[in-house]
Amino acid sequence: MQMALLKLSTTPGAGQVQLSWRCSVVAAATTLPFPNYSRSQLGRRRRKGIMRVKCNVNGTPVRATSILVVGATGTLGRQIVRRALDEGYDVRCLVRPRPAPADFLRDWGATVVNADLTKPDSIPATLVGVHTVIDCATGRPEEPIKTVDWEGKVALIQCAKAMGIQKYIFYSIHNCDKHPEVPLMEIKYCTEKFLRDSSLNHIVIRLCGFMQGLIGQYAVPILEEKSVWGTDAPTRIAYMDTQDIARLTFIALRNDKLNGQLLTFAGPRAWTTQEVITLCERLAGQDANVTTVPVSILRLTRQLTRFFEWTNDVADRLAFSEVLTSDTVFSVPMAETYNLLGVDSKDIVTLEKYLQDYFTNILKKLKDLKAQSKQTDIYF
């Protein structure tokens, strides 16, 4: 394996790694060209059983269909896994060792390997025989951002480069370049640059927000008559269904003209928090109990938490309040991207449709449960 060299600047005395996009990877001297098969060619080759194509540096056979999904247990990661399996890829998932194993991934037909991005020694073995890495990982809210999203990703990209991985898909955040004051945004932007400098074949996909996140944030609390948290910020987000993101990702992945490109995926319309709450109220048929947190309070909390080292991670998360005050619109016109990918805008799920399906299903289930409990009453 080639040794990759990482230049990290350190704070004198603090002994901590400082974020710096000046990091670079020394390009591995030998990278193998891999034939660019079309899907039909892939299908033909697979049917003929001749998918063991070119060999890697040390003779390891690599199938063009072998992918490693990092962050496979996450909101987007699991949709990537599902889509990949449906499309006939061999899917390996990098999953942290956990008390409750990620059995659902195995049940779907994926292979699960244990590793942790914060433990670089655990990474190389997961990459053996892998053609494409799809990186959907990000630190969970209770974890320090820098350890996973920066140090972990740097280690992963370096390993990928050193081991001759032939494509790397990285998910970033829309507008990350415009908000260096938000640690996660800055890290995403730095990682984009780090990936570009690594000279790995890659695609960066910037995302705005996930429809799935709105279920826990608004839909469920409204149905359970609990408080939902809103802000008075005018920020708008063009939420997208993660199933659409997965579908578009695989179209992009197969298009070799997109190597090295930066794509942004946004949903059909940008919504304020208040608009999302109003939509949920209408579909649920009940009013929300909204607790509005003024953005000024979020900012103050962030400044206070910055005073104490042990609350720095909380402050990093709250840094999004800076973005919320900036009247940002997390959206982009998608016509050109649809064109590039050959996708029809009509096939992209709208938030109205997504939430309507959710509420229709859940309200039907609740009704069935009530009916069952009535029956039970009679029997008892």
Ligand X SMILES: NC(=O)c1ccc[n+]([C@@H]2O[C@H](COP(=O)([O-])OP(=O)(O)OC[C@H]3O[C@@H](n4cnc5c(N)ncnc54)[C@H](OP(=O)(O)O)[C@@H]3O)[C@@H](O)[C@H]2O)c1
| Sites of contact with ligand X (CB under 6 A) | 71-77, 96, 98, 116-118, 136-140, 148, 152, 171, 173, 207, 209-210, 213
Min. distance of Cβ 47 from ligand X in angstroms?
A: 33
| CA 159 and chain centroid, separation | 20
**Based on CB atoms, which residue is closest to ligand X, 64 or 117?**
117
**Tokens standing for residue 322:** 């800076």
Under a CB-based contact definition with an 8 Å cutoff, are residues 167 and 131 in contact? Answer: yes
Give the DSSP letter string of 142-192: TS-HIIIIIIIHHHHHHHHHHTT--EEEEEEETTGGG-TTSHHHHHHHHHH
**Based on CB atoms, which residue is closest to ligand X, 118 or 301?**
118
Min. distance of Cβ 5 from ligand X in angstroms?
A: 23
SS3 category, 259: coil
**Based on CB atoms, which residue is closest to ligand X, 170 or 359?**
170
Min. distance of Cβ 378 from ligand X in angstroms?
A: 43
d(CA 326, CA 279): 24
**Based on CB atoms, which residue is closest to ligand X, 181 or 225?**
181
**Based on CB atoms, which residue is closest to ligand X, 166 or 249?**
249
d(CA 176, CA 192): 10
Under a CB-based contact definition with an 8 Å cutoff, are residues 81 and 105 in contact? Answer: yes
**Based on CB atoms, which residue is closest to ligand X, 171 or 271?**
171
Min. distance of Cβ 171 from ligand X in angstroms?
A: 4
d(CA 70, CA 133): 7
**Based on CB atoms, which residue is closest to ligand X, 37 or 330?**
330
Give the DSSP letter string of 93-137: EEE---SS--HHHHHHT-EEEE--TT-GGGSHHHHTT-SEEEE--
Angle at 19 between CA 16 and CA 22, to 5 degrees: 125
Min. distance of Cβ 372 from ligand X in angstroms?
A: 32
**Based on CB atoms, which residue is closest to ligand X, 84 or 148?**
148
User: Shortest CA distance to 131 belongs to which of 177, 176, 86, 84?
Assistant: 84
Min. distance of Cβ 219 from ligand X in angstroms?
A: 15
Min. distance of Cβ 182 from ligand X in angstroms?
A: 12
Side-chain-facing half-sphere of 126: CA atoms under 13 Å: 32
Min. distance of Cβ 93 from ligand X in angstroms?
A: 9
Q: Which residues contact 221 (CB under 8 A, 6 or more apart)?
A: 227, 228, 288, 289
DSSP state of 217: I
Give the residue nearest to ligand X (CB). Answer: 74
**Based on CB atoms, which residue is closest to ligand X, 37 or 168?**
168
SS3 category, 292: strand
Min. distance of Cβ 152 from ligand X in angstroms?
A: 5
